[in-house]
Each structure stands twice: as C-alpha cells, then as structure tokens.
Amino acid sequence: MALPATIVLDARLLTRQSTGDSTYWVGLLHGLREAQPRARFVLASDQPAPPGFVETDSISWRREPAPNSRWWSLITLPRLARALKADLVHVQYSASPLLRTPFVTTIHDVSFFVGPQWFKPKDRLLLRSSVPKAAKRAKVVLTVSEASKWDIVKHLSVPEDNVVATYLAPHPDLLAPLADQVASRLGSLGVARPYALSVSTRWPRKNMDLAVRAMERLAATTPHRLVLTGKAGWGGAAQGRRTQAVGYVDMDDLAALYGGADLYLCPSLYEGFGLPVVEAFAMGCPVVVGPGGSLPEVAGDAGLVLPDYEVETWRAAIESLVADPDRRAAMAEAGRQRANEFSWTKMAQGVWTAYERAMSG
C-alpha cells in the first residue's frame, strides 16, 4: 500500500487576526479535520502554532523562522518542501520561482485586474506581476466562487479546467449568541439599537462611503445608525452623523453585532466571495448587497441584490426594509436556510479532490 501523501500548507495566516483570507485557512483546517482525507498535512509558518492548535497523526505544525516574510516565501518554504519530500504544496496567490515541488495556489479574486484603482501602486504592481506567473505554474488554481473562477480564466489566461471553485462558510468560531448575550456584548461596545451593520477592512473597493452616505439620507424619523467594524486598512469611509465605528472585534462581539443588527449592508464594488454575507445569514441578519463580483451568486435569493451603487437606490432600499419588520423576518429565515448550504467539510472535500488531481499529474 502506498504511503499517505505529504502536503505542506503555507499556514502563516492561521496566526493572524481574522480576515477573509485568514478565515479561509482556519476553515480549510477545520474541514480537513472533519473530512479526514488520507494524507499527512504539515502546516508551515514562521510563527509558533496558534493557541488551541492540536496536532494529530495526520496534521502537524512546523515552525521555520526566517529573517523576514519575503525570505520565508522565497527561500524557506521551497527548502522545507524539499526536506520533507512533499508531494504537494498549497500556497496563496504567489509562489516562489524556487519552488520545484508541485503546488496549488488559492486566488480569492483578481480585483487587482478588475479594478486596479482600488490598490496602491506598489501592491498593484506586485500582484499583477507575481500572481499570473504562479497561476500558470500551479497544478490547480483554487478559488472561492464561480464568478471569481471566470475572472481568473479571463484575466490570468488560465484554462477553465485548471480552476476549481469551492465555497467558503462562516468562521468555525462564529456561533449564534443568546439574546441576553447580544444585549451584554452590545452594551460593552457602546452600541445601541436600532442599527445597520457593515463588516470590512477599510479598502477602496469595499465602498463603505456608499453605506455612510445612504444612511445619512434616511428620513429624520428613522432612528437607525450604521455600525462599522473591521481593520483600519486605507481609503476608509467618511464618518457621518449616523456612523459609529467600533474597530476590530473578537468573534463573540462580532456574533452579537450580527445578531443585533436590523440589516447587514455590503456595498462592496467587487468580491471574490463575500464572507460576511454568509456569516450575516447564519446569524439571522437580513442582507443587502450590490451587484459586484460574486455577491449575487453568494446571496442567491436570500439577500436583496441591488442593481447599482447609486446612493438613492441604497437609501430607498434601507428605508423600505427598516420600516417592514415582517419582510426582514422573512429575509432572516431565508438567510439561515441559505447559510446551511455552505460547509467547511464540503469545501475541504472539494480542495482534497483538487489535491488528488494535482498529485496525479
């Protein structure tokens, strides 16, 4: 009987604060533990394992220090893969030209091609130079939606058959809170109901200004505020009279924010997946999204997909929904049902199938 394959994962994002990219790796590890494919997984990083990480016979943590992150990606990871005689390496976006072990890469989206104006010049140049090269060398390109798959095919000139889309799911640690827990958490954050919520790092393509401006135009008799949470980023939204920014919060506070909101607003101009949409669904929060990238695909019939990014379109939709609790309740239930369609185990099974294909040559 052949020995189990050795697969090395670039696990550095597992030790960082949760964002969409880091949640991908947390969820993949969670799904791999559930799916239990027959393989040896080595999670490689320049940092110690995160708190609570449990090694098993098939999943281990390997710390390999390096002078800096760039050196680790360029030199340390290829060297480790050779030393372990790895059958496959799983990276994200870019890959070292020195990596001779077969690899797959996860490319969440190609927003740096779709909207280059959303990026700082240095970041845009680096991504547009390195990612296409990695995509062409990869045995399989993994992504997170059909919309993202077709953008990868178009902008990176990767054959359709070489791109595999696997949906994400809510963060494994995001659990629906009890009503009294919502009230307590909101109180500790200084957040009062009623409010709409938006969760995102402040980047230009997240288009937070639209949500701020739409909320500012609500009728004076509408009491709702807009609560913003997420990392600072750059090019962030302006602050309005109805806006309250609470910064980056932990999973329990995030669950409470979703649970207490009357609406979740996602005005992003483009998403490869749109993880907060599914998380809001799971927490029973009605969702409003724009037409960019994967958002209509992920929202399905459970969310309200607006046709454009005009302030008046968004103001009217928000005004209508906050005045209609029955419609919001119906949307919340549809969202919970939609969230049940997304699973990390299902996602990991799809990734494992891609691994097998990559290792078969």
pLDDT band at 1 (very low <50, low <70, confident <90, very high): very low
204 and 295 housed in the same domain: yes
Distances (CA, A) of 346 to 250, 349, 353: 26, 5, 11
Measured CA to CA, the distance from residue 276 to residue 337 in angstroms comes to 16
Q: How many CA atoms lie within 13 A of 99 on its CB side?
A: 30
For residues 62 and 79, membership in a common domain is answered with: yes
Do 265 and 124 sit in the same domain of this protein? no
Residue 236 has pLDDT above 60, yes or no: no
Q: Report, as an integer, the average pLDDT of 247-267.
A: 96
* pLDDT score for 203: 86
| 193 & 321 share domain | yes
- Domain co-membership, 219 together with 274: yes
The helix-helix angle for 311-322 and 325-339 (nearest 10°) equals: 100
Same domain, 332 and 316: yes
Mean pLDDT of 211-240: 87
Instruction: Return the axis-axis angle of helices 208-216 and 311-322, rounded to nearest 10°.
Output: 60
Measuring CA to CA, which residue among 166, 171, 143, 145 is closest to residue 282? 171
The per-residue pLDDT of the chain, averaged, comes to 94
| 140 located within any domain | yes
Amino acid identity, position 354: A
Same domain, 225 and 111: no
- Do the Cβ atoms of 248 and 201 come closer than 8 Å? no
* Number of domains comprising the chain: 2
Total-model pTM = 0.94
**CA 184 to CA 191: how far, in whole Å?**
10
DSSP secondary structure of 4-28:
PEEEEEE-GGGGS---HHHHHHHHH
Q: Which pLDDT value is given to residue 184?
A: 95
Q: Which domain holds residue 272?
A: 179-339
* Strand order, beta sheet including 88-92: 59-63, 39-45, 5-10, 88-92, 103-106, 140-143, 163-165
123 and 259 both lie in a single domain = no
The answer to whether residue 274 sits within a structural domain is yes
Query: Hey, what are 127's tokens?
Result: 């991504």
Residue 92 lies in a domain: yes
Please report whether residue 174 resides in a domain: no
With a pLDDT cut of 70, the percent of the chain lying above it is 97
Instruction: Band the pLDDT of 167: cuts 50, 70, 90.
Output: very high
Using CA atoms, how far apart are residues 331 and 284, in angstroms rounded to an integer? 8
- For 130, the enclosing helix (H) or strand (E) is helix 121-137
What was the pLDDT predicted at 92?
Answer: 97
Q: Does 155 lie in the same domain as 244?
A: no
**Whether 321 and 197 share a structural domain:** yes
Whether 348 and 299 map to the same domain: the answer is: no
Q: Is residue 109 part of a domain?
A: yes
Query: Are the CB atoms for 256 and 177 separated by under 8 Å?
Result: yes
Cβ atoms of 102 and 143 within 8 Å: the answer is: no
Token readout for 256 is 């409470």
Does 197 map to a domain? yes
- Alpha helices by DSSP H, listed for 16-108, are 20-35, 69-71, 77-83
What is the mean pLDDT of the segment spanning 127-133? Answer: 97
Backbone angles phi, psi at 32, to 5 degrees: -65, -40
Q: What residues contact residue 256 under an 8 Å CB cut-off, 6+ apart?
A: 177, 181, 182, 184, 185, 186, 189
216 and 321 assigned to the same domain: yes
Q: Which residue has the tokens 């005004």?
A: 319
Report the 10 Å Cβ neighbour count for 212.
23
pLDDT band at 179 (very low <50, low <70, confident <90, very high): confident
Asked if the model's pLDDT at residue 176 lies above 80, the reply is yes
For residue 196, being part of any structural domain is answered with yes
Is residue 75 packed enough to be buried (19+ CB in 10 Å), middle (13-18) or exposed (0-12)?
middle
Give the DSSP H/E element, type plus range, for residue 272: none
Distance of CA 165 to the CA centre of its chain: 14
Cβ atoms < 10 Å from Cβ of 322: 20
The CATH number of whichever domain residue 14 belongs to comes to: 3.40.50.2000
In the predicted model, is pLDDT for residue 205 greater than 60? yes
